[in-house]
Amino acid sequence: MAEIKVIKGTGQLTCLGLGSCIGLLAYDAESGVCGMAHIMLPEAFKDKPVDKPGKFADTGVPALLAEIEKAGGNIRRLTWVFTGGAQVFKYGAGTASKLDVGARNGEAVNAHLKKLGARILAQDIGGTSGRTMVANIETGEVRVRTVQGGEKTLCQLKRVRAEAA
């Protein structure tokens, strides 16, 4: 949780067990740079220092951009994918939580990407299932796995490159 990882050309990025958290993925097809942030909360606390910028949507998006740029990616070429933002407590009287962190995380990430004019390739948010997202940079496949619904392909990062070319 709260970490930002960037890889280039090869390997895979995994966000394990996203409940209310958001796994935010950005990919630059041309340089092959791919970054992922595991966002936990919608915004940083005003009165507290931010120790891990990847933890919050408002600090996580710019921090992810900076890391991608540092790795040689072009932030104007990025395509974005994000999943998570669920309410995993499905049963019980208190499930309509007043805090509803998952929904707020989803809204916050969406708002920050909109502000950037970001190209969102795919999103899979909300619901009551935790998700594990795995992005394979070699094949370009982004897969999402849930405990009750099994595994499915969310999108193809490479197809974007083919279309663009």
Stretch that binds other proteins, among 10-18, 72-80, 114-122, 136-144 (CB under 8 A): 10-18
Q: Residue 90 CB, nearest distance to other proteins (Å)?
A: 6
Q: Give yes or no for residue 129 binding other proteins (CB under 8 A).
A: yes
Neighbours of 145 (CB within 10 A): 16
* Cα gap 17→92, rounded to integer Å: 21
Contact between residue 118 and residue 62 where contact means Cβ atoms under 8 Å apart: no
* Cα gap 56→45, rounded to integer Å: 9
Determine the residue type at 68: I
Catalytic-residue membership of 34: no
* Residue 46 or 115 having the CB closest to other proteins: 46
Stretch that binds other proteins, among 62-70, 74-82, 86-94, 134-142 (CB under 8 A): 86-94
DSSP state of 149: T
Residue with tokens 């499930």: 95
> Where along the sequence are the contacts to other proteins (CB under 8 A)?
1-2, 16-21, 40-41, 44-45, 48-52, 55, 86-95, 97, 99, 101-102, 128-130, 132, 147-148
Question: Where in the sequence numbering do the catalytic residues fall?
Answer: 21
